[in-house]
């Protein structure tokens, strides 16, 4: 009986380890004495050779030393389209470059972290395909840089599928509705026109659209000096710039974004409440800026 109890306890311990596997949002891919354009082109080439498509890129905070590159693949889009509740949000991956004292540090969004956080329960339904995509991205990063060190704050995989920073904070399933239009075409036309005009100091980084499905996602740079990236990123950590740009989703007539108090918490999970209090106005600022693109 004693031996059986010990075996049960061991099994429970093993199970606990399995179910509490932790994951971090970003990879540190190392740094080299170089310039951003050289490293960017090197990684672009490697991504294209591995069947990825470059969708955009921009200087974060309007700073020449901070750059984010966005990319996707047909395989990733195919999986994302299976997930009806804004699965398209996971269709673009990101790599960041930070030039400091003559060295370029390369970091990347951990694909699996994004898939767990945005696709949630649907991750398990498409695990084989998504794990293959993650492996392909990680291979490119490791081949180019020779390093792949997770960082950014540990979250259990189980928790990430239904991420919730703390009581009273929103979930993925609590989006902010910016506007409901009369038609999908009206929504796309209005947002595109305002982005072309750089309304609110915004800039289009990428647009992934499936017209026949009346579905689109925009990656939007927030470049206002007082309410945008230059205001909040230095306060919570520029090492996490591969969390940018912010997304707008158009599904038929409705335009939504992830709530800032969900999205910032998910990409900066190790921040304390006192650190978050430094950007207390940011979720509202982001909503106001992006809502203006629908007017």
**207 in a structural domain:** yes
Asked whether 95 and 106 are in contact (CB, 8 A), the reply is yes
- Residue 238: CB partners within 8 Å, gap ≥ 6? 60, 61, 66, 98
pLDDT tens column, 84-97:
999 999 999 999 99
**What total number of domains does the chain contain?**
2
Domain that holds residue 40: 23-156
Domain of 227: which CATH number? 3.30.310.70
User: Is 2 within a domain?
Assistant: no
Judge whether 271 lies within some domain: yes
120-142: burial string, b at 16+ Cβ within 10 Å, e else? bebbeebeeebeebbebbbebbe
- Which of 205, 2, 178, 18 has its CA nearest to residue 96? 205
Do 150 and 182 belong to one domain? no
Could you tell me the two tokens for 112?
A: 């699996």
Tens digits of per-residue pLDDT, 21-30?
A: 999 999 999 9
What CA–CA distances, in Å, run from 131 to 79, 107, 115, 116, 144? 12, 20, 9, 11, 20
Is 141 found in the same domain as 205? no
Instruction: Say if 14 falls within a structural domain.
Output: no
Instruction: Please check whether residue 11 lies inside any domain of the structure.
Output: no
Q: Which H or E run contains 285?
A: helix 282-292
Q: Are residues 283 and 193 in the same domain?
A: yes
Q: Are residues 63 and 150 in the same domain?
A: yes
pLDDT digit string, tens, across residues 227-280: 999 999 999 999 999 999 999 999 999 999 999 999 999 999 999 989 989 999
């Amino acid at each position: 009986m004693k031996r059986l109890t010990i075996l049960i306890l061991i099994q429970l311990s093993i199970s606990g380890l399995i179910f509490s596997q932790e994951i971090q949002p970003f990879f540190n891919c190392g740094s080299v004495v170089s310039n951003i354009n050289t490293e960017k082109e090197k990684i672009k080439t490697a991504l294209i050779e591995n069947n990825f498509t470059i969708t955009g890129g921009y200087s974060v905070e309007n700073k020449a030393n901070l750059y984010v590159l966005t990319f996707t693949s047909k395989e990733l889009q195919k999986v994302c389209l299976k997930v009806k509740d804004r699965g398209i949000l996971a269709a673009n991956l990101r790599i960041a470059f930070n030039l400091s004292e003559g060295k370029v540090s390369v970091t990347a969004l951990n694909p699996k972290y994004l898939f767990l956080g945005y696709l949630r329960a649907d991750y398990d339904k498409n695990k084989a395909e998504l794990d293959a995509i993650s492996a392909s991205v990680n291979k490119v990063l490791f081949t180019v840089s020779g390093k792949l060190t997770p960082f950014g704050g540990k979250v259990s995989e189980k928790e990430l599928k239904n991420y919730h920073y703390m009581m009273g904070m929103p979930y993925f399933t609590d989006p902010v509705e910016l506007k409901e239009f009369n038609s999908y075409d009206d929504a796309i036309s209005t947002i595109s026109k305002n982005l072309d005009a750089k309304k609110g100091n915004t800039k289009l980084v990428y647009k992934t659209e499936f017209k026949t499905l009346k579905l689109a996602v925009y990656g939007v740079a927030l470049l206002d000096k007082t309410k945008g990236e230059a205001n909040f990123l230095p306060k919570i950590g520029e090492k996490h710039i591969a969390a940018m740009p912010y997304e707008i989703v158009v599904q038929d007539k409705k335009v939504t974004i992830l709530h800032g108090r969900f999205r910032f918490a998910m990409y900066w999970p190790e921040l304390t409440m006192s650190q978050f209090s430094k950007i207390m106005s940011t979720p509202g600022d982001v909503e106001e800026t992006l809502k203006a693109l629908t007017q």
